[in-house]
Structure 1
Amino acid sequence: MIYNNERPAILMFQDGTYFEGIGIGATAKITGEITFSTIPGSGYIEALTDSTFKDQIILFTYPSIGNYGVPDKIRDEYGILRQFESETIKVKGIILNEYCEKPSHYESIRTLEDWLIEENIPGIQWIDTRIITQKFVKEGSKLGLLQVYNAGEKPNLEELKKAVQTIETPSNKNIAANVSVKKLKKYIKPDSKGSVVIYDLGAKNNIIRTLLSKNLEVVLVPYLYDYDMIMKLNPNGVILSNGPGNPTILKQSIRLARKLIENNVPTMGIGLGHNIIGLAAGAFCYKMTAEHRGGRTTVENDTDHCYITFQNHGYCLKDINKNGFAELFHDKDDNTNEGLIHESKPIFSVAFNPEASPGALDMKEPIFEKFIKYMEVD
């Protein structure tokens, strides 16, 4: 590739496949698991700050990203950041077909690249994202590296080929514990009709906001909290949140879910929390080849009703009909499980993100209202 004043950048996979592009964001070298997101031109701010993507390198399939810039960090009436799903960018790096250098939006105060540089996140553009996405769909997410060089610097491909072979799989790391809050945090709602504990594995801001908007007090607790510690808070219900990483290694979380099930505590799982409830119930959890990473994915329930959902998960459950649990939703395209429900206890879970930030609103009200009904606080 011929560079003028641009910064060279290389994306390389462990199998030796590499792509040359132009660097954006920070001048840096990163390694990790590379996956994708099919969100449209809007939603990249929420995706980049979604803790479910913690430590991953994200390829955006939409052809142009950055078109509306980045807004100021303004907090809502609850003290929660608007448009950002956490306080900082959670991805390690980004892969784009094309970066929009001149955004246009009345709320924009800086470009996407300015934000990436501020948080030391590298990116690469002018990449054929279609061919890489096809590779992911057929073979699954990949380990690899991304390096952005200074202008005029020549990439050393042989050095990168050696470095890419030393990358360790993240599947044995407890990434969720790293993004969980370090101490209890309360969102007090005057005259609330009930209290919800969110067991924080990387909870998105819009989950908290949605509960507060329904006149519920929210208590965010760290990963290290166990059943007894949570019950001392006297909640009306518990949510096991979304989050990153491999659910099967979160033994403490699975023990917590098992106790919640045994004691009939109104409980809802989202994303990673869904898989943890499934594991606690005896289901089998596996890493998907064709991961669900997008804003327009259709799920279906047993009444043949279809709903458009936002999804961001790379693990899935099977053998779910155990210990009183049954399927609540399945994916319309590949028939994989997207939800569980207990036949007699107030416990259910969904693999998708019902809070819809970004994404479709089809399931926002039905899912949260179902949880509120289980808590019997109306």
Structure 2
Amino acid sequence: MYCHAFEKNSADYICDQSHQYIKKRYTKMSIIAQSAASVLRTASVSRTALRNLVATRGLAMVTDRPTPMVAGTPSAFLPAVSTSSGNLPASLKMKTGQIFNGTSFGAHKSIFGEIVFTTSLVGYPESMSDPSYGGQILVFTQPLIGNYGVPSAEKDIHGLLRHFESDRIQVQGIIVNDYATRYSHWTAVESLGDWCSRHGVPAISGIDTRAVTHLLREQGSTLGKIAVGEEALDGKLDDYFPDPNLRNLVAEVSTKDPLQYNPEGDVKIAIIDCGVKQNIIRCLVARGAAVTVLPWNYNFNKVADQFDGLFISNGPGSPSTCAETVSNLKVTLDTYQRPIFGICMGNLLLGMAAGLESYKLPYGNRGHNQPAINQTNGRCVITSQNHGYALKDTHMPVGWRKFFVNANDRSNEGIRHVSRPIFSVQFHPEAKGGPKDTEYLFSDFLDQVRADKVKRQSANVFFDQEIQREAAVAFA
């Protein structure tokens, strides 16, 4: 009986408290509504005053101010507006004949390139500044682009860009369905349109990107051009479509001189720069490595003894243009016994040096949700990818095995040596953007490098001791 009474009193108390809470909230909301209604009825109240009233009630505020947002200031919480012009006509023409009309919101110039698409939902600043996109017109399948603006070019303690993968936009141009002129993010300093205009990159909105993607999936990656202004308005687009993959795009994006990062690191890693992303370098230095970035055609074999490991980076275009790098790597595989790791273009070049052939995929794999199956343990991981070429792995060379295979199209996603610390992957374990399921590969690589260094040091100590013993016997 006591229990029933207790339960009844508890229930009454809870109901009473709930009623009082609802009553208070209703009263508060009524006051806010009455205040807003009062302002609306007052004709002399300016629009600015109305915005201030809404802001004091903690509601979302819309502003027409074009001032870019700066992190750490009150304006960082308000949507800003792009100042780039968005009223010029623009067109995308495919080599296969299709023409798509839209509106320009980037640089007012016409360009050529290979039309490719990415299924990434976020990370457009990282994608557009990725050197692997060199020579390409990038179509975003995500309809809304530009809503969080573009961040600043600030650098970390190692001098690496925090928000971009290189110091400029690498794509030839971009195609979007819906460009967000209003942007809002605490790190944003300018709009996507302003960023494109500043770097001389054309951008088109109002395009049916689903239709473009469907065509690319049906007919494969296609050459195309972007026309802006009078050229697009006239509709007289010629049939000249130069193929950027015939150029050595790697040479265009690679460093011209050696660069060093984190020189005090405990192991020394050389990077063959075919278009290395900033986050790849960051993943190495964050794990304690001293990194030296070398040009794409640098003969690493002349300085191999100075480094504890070799890394071969990502890059744009066709691997066939990097015959000099492949030739150098063939010598490296024969003479260099220390760990080697490659990513994307690095996987292609390492595979070609080992005896495999590369081929062009129909429309490539680009996005943040590509599944790859580890052939050593059967586990499937989600990866970030951006490549248009792959290795033919039907017949693997002696001593080599498949490392990863794409779960969708069964294309090669990596190779490894069976007895030496050498491996490479076609996807991007450093992400930026994308999942970090395979970032552990950097740790695996550096673990191998450190283990190999300890082994070599131990062998040197043993060798020195043997020399000392022989010398002692000789003089006895």
- Report the TM-score, using the length of structure 1 for normalisation: 0.93
- Asked if 1:194 is matched to 2:267, the reply is yes
1:225-304 mapped onto 2 (5 Å cutoff)? 225-231=298-304, 234-263=306-335, 264-302=337-375, 303-304=377-378
Verify the 8 A CA contact 2:92 2:101 in the aligned structure 1. yes
Q: Offset at 1:37?
A: 1.2
Verify the 8 A CA contact 2:368 2:383 in the aligned structure 1. yes
- Asked if 1:38 is matched to 2:119, the reply is yes
Distance 1:94 1:345 in 2: 42
- Asked if 1:209 is matched to 2:282, the reply is yes
Structure 2 equivalent of residue 20 of structure 1: 101
Q: Which residue identity does 2:227 align to in structure 1?
A: Q
Per-residue CA deviation, residues 251-280 of structure 1 (Å, 9 max, x unaligned), is 111112212221233111100010011111
In terms of Rg, which structure is larger?
2
1:15-164 mapped onto 2 (5 Å cutoff)? 15-40=96-121, 42-149=122-229, 155-157=233-235, 159-160=236-237, 162=238
- Report the TM-score, using the length of structure 2 for normalisation: 0.74
Structure 1 equivalent of residue 410 of structure 2: 335
Per-residue CA deviation, residues 314-336 of structure 1 (Å, 9 max, x unaligned), is 00111351131110000011111
Aligned to 2:163, the other structure's residue is in SS state coil
2:247 to 148, 162, 173: 173
Aligned to 2:161, the other structure's residue is in SS state coil
Verify the 8 A CA contact 2:90 2:204 in the aligned structure 1. yes
Q: Which residue identity does 2:321 align to in structure 1?
A: I
Aligned to 1:304, the other structure's residue is in SS state coil
Q: Which residue identity does 2:89 align to in structure 1?
A: P
Distance 1:350 1:357 in 2: 16
Identity %: 37
- Cα RMSD over matched residues? 1.6
Verify the 8 A CA contact 2:366 2:387 in the aligned structure 1. yes
- After superposition, the Cα gap between the structure-2 partners of 1:154 and 1:180, relative to the gap in structure 1 and judged at 3 Å, is closer
Q: Offset at 1:110?
A: 0.8
- After superposition, the Cα gap between the structure-2 partners of 1:144 and 1:328, relative to the gap in structure 1 and judged at 3 Å, is same
Q: Which residue identity does 1:204 align to in structure 2?
A: K
Q: Which residue identity does 2:229 align to in structure 1?
A: Y
Verify the 8 A CA contact 1:281 1:323 in the aligned structure 2. no
Distance 2:248 2:326 in 1: 13
Q: Which residue identity does 1:257 align to in structure 2?
A: L
Distance 1:296 1:189 in 2: 35
- Asked if 1:369 is matched to 2:443, the reply is yes
> Which consecutive residues of structure 1, in runs of 5 or more, have no partner in the other structure?
none
Verify the 8 A CA contact 1:24 1:148 in the aligned structure 2. no
Q: Offset at 1:228?
A: 2.7
Tell which deviates more after alignment, 138-147 or 95-104.
138-147
- After superposition, the Cα gap between the structure-2 partners of 1:138 and 1:154, relative to the gap in structure 1 and judged at 3 Å, is closer
Per-residue CA deviation, residues 293-313 of structure 1 (Å, 9 max, x unaligned), is 001111011222110100000
Distance 1:137 1:349 in 2: 27
1:305 to 373, 376, 379: 379
Distance 1:37 1:154 in 2: 25
Verify the 8 A CA contact 1:175 1:244 in the aligned structure 2. yes
Distance 2:124 2:332 in 1: 35
2:292 to 202, 219, 230: 219
Verify the 8 A CA contact 2:273 2:294 in the aligned structure 1. yes
Whichever structure has more strand as a proportion of its residues is 1
Verify the 8 A CA contact 2:90 2:232 in the aligned structure 1. no
Distance 1:79 1:227 in 2: 24
Q: Offset at 1:38?
A: 1.1
> Which consecutive residues of structure 2, in runs of 5 or more, have no partner in the other structure?
1-85, 455-476
Per-residue CA deviation, residues 35-86 of structure 1 (Å, 9 max, x unaligned), is 111111x200000100000121100110111111011111111111111000
Verify the 8 A CA contact 2:301 2:328 in the aligned structure 1. no
Aligned to 2:241, the other structure's residue is in SS state coil
Per-residue CA deviation, residues 192-218 of structure 1 (Å, 9 max, x unaligned), is 220100000000000001101001000
Q: Offset at 1:114?
A: 0.7
Aligned to 2:183, the other structure's residue is in SS state coil
Distance 2:104 2:196 in 1: 11
Q: Offset at 1:154?
A: 6.4
Q: Which residue identity does 1:113 align to in structure 2?
A: G
Off by >6 Å, runs of 4+ in structure 1: none
- After superposition, the Cα gap between the structure-2 partners of 1:358 and 1:132, relative to the gap in structure 1 and judged at 3 Å, is same
